[in-house]
Amino acid sequence: MHEMALTESLVEIIEEEGRKQGFARVRVVRLEIGALGCVDPEAVRFCFEAVARGAIVEGARLEIIAVPGEGWCLDCSRTVPVRERFGACPECGGYHVQVTAGEEMRVKELEVE
Ligand SMILES: [Zn+2]
In a domain, 86, yes or no: no
In a domain, 73, yes or no: no
Paired sense of beta strands 70-73 and 97-101, if any: antiparallel
Rounded distance from Cα 101 to ligand 1 centre (Å) = 16
Q: What is the tens place of the pLDDT at every residue in 58-98?
A: 999 999 999 999 999 999 999 999 998 889 999 999 999 99
pLDDT of 113 strictly over 90: no
Q: What is the pLDDT at residue 55?
A: 94
Distance CA 3, CA 15 (A): 18
Buried b (16+ CB within 10 A) or exposed e, 79-101: ebebeeeebbbeeeeeeebebeb
Rounded distance from Cα 91 to ligand 1 centre (Å) = 5
CATH number of the domain bearing residue 38: 3.30.2320.50
Mean pLDDT of the chain: 94
Distance CA 17, CA 105 (A): 17
Rounded distance from Cα 82 to ligand 1 centre (Å) = 11
Rounded distance from Cα 71 to ligand 1 centre (Å) = 10
Q: Domain count for the chain, please give it.
A: 1
* Model pTM score: 0.85
For residue 37, the enclosing domain spans 2-68+102-112
Rounded distance from Cα 109 to ligand 1 centre (Å) = 33
pLDDT of 1 strictly over 80: no
Rounded distance from Cα 94 to ligand 1 centre (Å) = 6
Q: What is the pLDDT at residue 56?
A: 94
